[in-house]
Structures are given as structure tokens and as C-alpha cells.
Amino acid sequence: MLTRADAVVIGGGVVGCAVAYYLSKAGARVALVERSVVGSGASSVNPGSIAMATKKGGTVLELARASQRLHEGLSAELGTPTEYAVEGNLIVAESETEIAYLEELAAGQRAVGVPVELVDEQRCRELNPLLRGRVLSGLYCATDAHANPFKVTQGFADAARNRGAQLFTGTAVEGILVEAGHVTGVMTSRGNIEAPWVINAAGAFAPMIGKMVGATHDVVPRRGQIVVLEATDALPGIRVSGASQLLAKHVAAPADGRPHRTPISLSYTRKPLSGTVLLGSTNEFVGYDSRNTREVVAGICECAARFMPELGRLNVLRSWAGLRPYSSKGPLLGDGGGPAGYAVATGHGGDGMALSPVTGLYLSRYVGRDGEAYPVAQFLQDLKSADGAIQ
Ligand SMILES: Cc1cc2nc3c(=O)[nH]c(=O)nc-3n(C[C@H](O)[C@H](O)[C@H](O)COP(=O)(O)OP(=O)(O)OC[C@H]3O[C@@H](n4cnc5c(N)ncnc54)[C@H](O)[C@@H]3O)c2cc1C
């Protein structure tokens, strides 16, 4: 077991692996500690959408735009295909309320240069001819993309290792060492690692890590369930979801911590290489229960067959569920609010795959400033100055 590093990253999801990669690239000696295997949490259960059309204007959208630029070059950067593909994204409205919501979203997105279009019913059906159910209009973003979440996560992990990072899988962090108000390392199930920086990238489990240093993080698990249909050649590649799914995504966790589920909506993603179709997911606050439920799996299939009857002839291959690290504040990046040297990279909710490269880059710069404040707004400004194409 390594006993000394410049930084310990806790969690081997896409976020932790991205942080480990960019820190290693910046020259730091990194130890990544993952209690299970790389990509065993939320990072392997998502459809890999890298979408701007699903985000409200503001910091998250700006981070997402910068992150998409990084995703575009990630296969070359990491030396492994991430299966990044631009297939477009259509969000359809079933009611006047949803139309107004999409118009508001589009205004915020256009304000920062995202090329979204408001399209009528006919255009929606042209874009994805499977659509048969009630559709009034839609929000379309031709540049929205997706990538393979397994490949992105493993790609970051392998590239970090190639740059000298040590990855300790099957190793749980059990405590954080602090002396005189400064982090000095972590206690793990396989021994201690000394380091002046500890980055909490434990996803939905980040609050438990925070408790180890007396820090409170506004992160709660938000379950998403997915149904996978068998591969077939002939289906359209463009992603389609209902505006109601987006409205559900933007619903905050109940303050009293009670379980909360939103209605099931259409969500269709076809994976270009495998040809499988992913349906879902849901947005459920049900604590740390990461199991599928029979009624939700049936509901996802029923909803898809209502909007896209042709899917009804395909067999279901499998279903899965996972826990997003939801934060009402959006991603929590940088200062962890604990001892000096304790940082966070969590709270990405349903956007962690999309935001992983920009998160890793930000954390590497934050740590590189060695405790000096680095507001995310300043980071975004620095990116724009360095590359005028990131607007
Ligand atoms: C159904 C679903 C659909 C989604 N769709 C999308 C999408 O299309 N696009 C998108 O961008 N995002 C999507 N997301 C969100 C995305 O998956 C998450 O935001 C992202 O995976 C979070 O990554 P993470 O590394 O923070 O967390 P995780 O992947 O959960 O990783 C955290 C890791 O920390 C480890 N850990 C926890 N405690 C300890 C400990 N004490 N010691 C050591 N290790 C520990 C865990 O084992 C885990 O591997 C979706 C999520 C779900 C569930």
C-alpha cells in the first residue's frame, strides 16, 4: 500500500476518475481509493447523455458547454475510444404548460449560445418517426451528444494510472486524518495513506465522507430506473424525452426527507454501436434503495409503448437502477467546508457523466492553487480566455 501521495481521491466513479486523471496530468502524485470496482456506482448505470437541451441557463449550463468541448477531444486525450457521438436531442411537450416551460428553457440556452430550436409537431415526428403519441411541439438541440459511460469512466482511470496514479480498488475509506486543522491523509480498510489533499468524490455517499471531518454536504441519493430493450438496426438515433421528465428532474428533494416520486415520462436513447434502446430513467427520492421496482419497470414500458408503439414488439433485455448524487445547489466543487486540504467534487445529480471532464479540470486547478480561492465563475472565465471557442 502506498503510504504517501499529494492527493487522495475518494471514489472511483466517473467524477473521481476524472479528478484523478487531471490531477495526475498536472503532475500530482495521486491515490484513488474505491471501495468496490471502478464505475460501480451511478457512473455505470446512466445512458451517457451529454445534453445542453436539458439544462437551465446558468453555471451548470456553462460548465456543461465547456465539458462538451472536452468530451469532443476525450478519445484522443485518453487514448481510448469513448464512443462520443452527436445524435441530437428532442424534448417533446404534451401540454400548454410544457410548451411554456420549453420556451423558457430555450431562451436561457440561446442566451449562452446553445443552438436550440423550438419545433412544431410535424418536425418532431420527422426528427423521430417512431413518435405516435400526443405531441404538441418540441425543443431540439442538434449538437447534443452521448458517450459510453463505462468507456469514459474506465478511460479516465486507465489514463490516470498511465500518468502515475495509484488506484486502490476493493479499499474503503474509513476515516480522514486531520492535524492542526489540516488534512494529513486517509485511513482505509487496507492501511493509511498520507496526503495534504483529500477530495471527496463519493457520489451519493459523499455526506458519509463529509461526516468524517465534521462537514455537512447538501447531497441526497436520487434513484433512477432504466429498462434496456434488445438491439435492432432500424431505429432512429436521436434521443427523445418528454418535457415532463425534465420537469421531474428539476423538482427539488422534499425538505422533510420523505420519499418522493414523480410521474413516469418518455425517455428514449438508442446506443449507436450496440443498437440497444435505453428507456427511462425516473427521478425518485427513496433513500439509499438502489433496486428496481416492478411497477416502475412496467410503467416505463407502458409509457414508451404509448408514445412509440413500435417499441412494443421488442424484448426487454434487462433493467437496472442507480443513485444520482443530487444537490439542490447543483454540483459542489472545491472547498469542502471542512479542514484545510479537504475538497469536494460531488452533487452532480443527473449530469455527472456530462460534467466529469470539466469537474476534473476544475479540481486540478483548485488543488494547484493550494488553498487560494478559485470561484467557478473565474475558472469559466479563464477557460473562455484560453479558448475563445468556449462561449
Ligand atoms: C439512471 C441514471 C441516469 C443518468 N443519466 C445521466 C446522463 O444521461 N448523463 C449524465 O451526465 N449523467 C447521468 N446520470 C448521473 C450520473 O450517472 C452521475 O451524476 C455520476 O455518475 C456521478 O458520478 P460520481 O463519480 O460522483 O458517483 P458514483 O459513480 O456513484 O461513484 C462514487 C463512488 O464512490 C465510492 N465510494 C463511496 N463511499 C466510499 C468509501 N467510503 N470509500 C471508497 N469509495 C467509496 C462508490 O463505491 C462509488 O463507486 C444518471 C444517473 C442515473 C442513476
Q: Is 202 in the pocket of ligand 1 (CB under 6 A)?
A: yes
Q: Is 215 in the pocket of ligand 1 (CB under 6 A)?
A: no
Cβ-based burial of 288 (10 A; exposed 0-12, middle 13-18, buried ≥19): exposed
What are the residues whose beta carbons fall under 8 Å from the beta carbon of 74, sequence distance 6 or more? 82, 84, 147, 152, 155, 357
Give the per-residue pLDDT at 2: 60
pLDDT tens sequence for the chain (391 residues):
668 999 999 999 999 999 999 999 999 999 999 999 999 999 999 999 999 999 999 999 999 999 999 999 999 999 999 999 999 999 999 999 999 999 999 999 999 999 999 999 999 999 999 999 899 999 999 999 999 999 999 999 999 999 999 999 999 999 999 999 999 999 999 999 999 999 999 999 999 999 999 999 999 999 999 999 999 988 999 999 999 988 888 877 888 888 888 888 999 999 988 899 999 999 999 999 999 999 999 999 999 999 999 999 999 999 999 999 999 999 999 999 999 999 999 999 999 999 999 999 999 999 999 889 999 999 999 999 986 544 3
Q: Quote the CA–CA distance of 44 and 103 in Å, as a whole number.
A: 32
Nearest to 240 by CA among 205, 266, 259, 262: 266
Q: What is the pLDDT of residues 277-329, one digit of tens each?
A: 999 999 999 999 999 999 999 999 999 999 999 999 999 999 999 999 999 99
CA–chain centroid gap for 233, Å, is 28
Q: Quote the CA–CA distance of 268 and 380 in Å, as a whole number.
A: 32
User: Could you tell me the domains of the chain?
Assistant: 7-65+150-218+329-386 (3.50.50.60), 89-142+220-325 (3.30.9.10)
Q: Quote the CA–CA distance of 23 and 15 in Å, as a whole number.
A: 12
What angle separates helix 59-72 from helix 352-368, to the nearest 10 degrees?
90
Please answer whether residues 84 and 145 qualify as being in contact, where contact means their C-beta atoms are separated by less than 8 angstroms: yes
Give the per-residue pLDDT at 357: 98
Q: Quote the CA–CA distance of 260 and 287 in Å, as a whole number.
A: 10
Q: Quote the CA–CA distance of 160 and 158 in Å, as a whole number.
A: 5
End-to-end CA distance of the chain: 44
Please give the number of the atom of ligand 1 that sits closest to the Cα of 11.
Answer: 34
What b/e readout covers 25-54, taking b as 16+ CB neighbours within 10 angstroms? bbebbbbbbbbeebbbbbbbbbbbbbbbbb
Give the per-residue pLDDT at 389: 46
- Reading the block at residue 361, the C-alpha cell is 479540470
Candidates 33, 226, 353, 363: which one to mutate for ligand 1, based on the most atoms within 8 Å of Cβ?
353
In single-letter form, the type of residue at position 211 comes to: K
Give the per-residue pLDDT at 8: 98
Helix then strand then coil, % of the chain, to nearest 5: 35, 25, 40
Please give the number of the atom of ligand 1 that sits closest to the Cα of 43.
Answer: 21
Q: Is the pTM of this model over 0.85?
A: yes
Give the per-residue pLDDT at 252: 79
Candidates 46, 169, 363: which one to mutate for ligand 1, based on the most atoms within 8 Å of Cβ?
46
**Distance of CA 183 from the midpoint of ligand 1 (Å):** 25
